[in-house]
């Protein structure tokens, strides 16, 4: 079974402070991890994926297989980062294809 855990429902930080959104996963195979973001009144959209190893809007995330974590980080929070963030895991299904499992999400609130 594949599972994604986001322990914080709400994370409140001040503008300019570092941000770390936690994500832990459980999966027996080799997973692919994603972060999706949902800004207010907008659609859920892909923020980044671990295989890309890129920084998007200043956010980075490193897959730590030893700790089964994929935390999302940004050194300096901006007001426009306020949104709902979902960690997701893609695992292979028997018979082909992938199943994307989402965590329960963390609401990030950046205060001035």
Partner 1 sequence: EAGVTQSPTHLIKTRGQQVTLRCSPISGHTSVYWYQQALGLGLQFLLWYDEGEERNRGNFPPRFSGRQFPNYSSELNVNALELEDSALYLCASSLGLYSGANVLTFGAGSRLTVL
Question: Which residues of the chain form contacts with partner 1 (CB under 8 A)?
Answer: 6, 9, 32, 34, 43-46, 49, 86, 90, 93, 95-105
Q: How far is CA 14 from CA 9, 79, 83, 105, in A?
A: 17, 9, 14, 20
Q: Which of 17/46 has CB closer to partner 1?
A: 46
Q: Which is nearer to partner 1, 1 or 112 (CB)?
A: 1
- The pair of three-digit structure tokens given for residue 111, joined into one six-digit string: 């205060």
Q: How far is the CB of 26 from partner 1 (least distance, A)?
A: 16
User: Minimum distance from CB of 27 to partner 1 (Å)?
Assistant: 13
CB of 1 to partner 1, least distance (A): 11
The number of residues in the chain equals 112
Query: Which residue's CB is nearer to partner 1, number 78 or number 98?
Result: 98
Burial status of residue 5 (CB atoms within 10 A of its CB: 0-12, 13-18, 19 or more) = middle
What number of other Cβ atoms are within 10 A of residue 55's Cβ? 12
């Amino acid at each position: 079974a594949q599972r994604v855990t986001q322990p914080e429902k709400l994370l409140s930080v001040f503008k300019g402070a570092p941000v770390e959104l936690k994500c832990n996963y459980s999966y027996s195979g080799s997973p692919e991890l994603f972060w999706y973001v949902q800004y207010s009144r907008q659609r859920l959209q892909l923020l980044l994926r671990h295989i890309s190893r890129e920084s998007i809007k200043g956010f980075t995330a490193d897959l730590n297989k030893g700790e089964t974590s994929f935390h999302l980080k940004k050194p300096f929070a901006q007001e426009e980062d306020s949104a709902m963030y979902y960690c997701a895991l893609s695992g292979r299904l028997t018979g082909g294809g992938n199943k994307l499992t989402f965590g329960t999400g963390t609401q990030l609130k950046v205060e001035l």
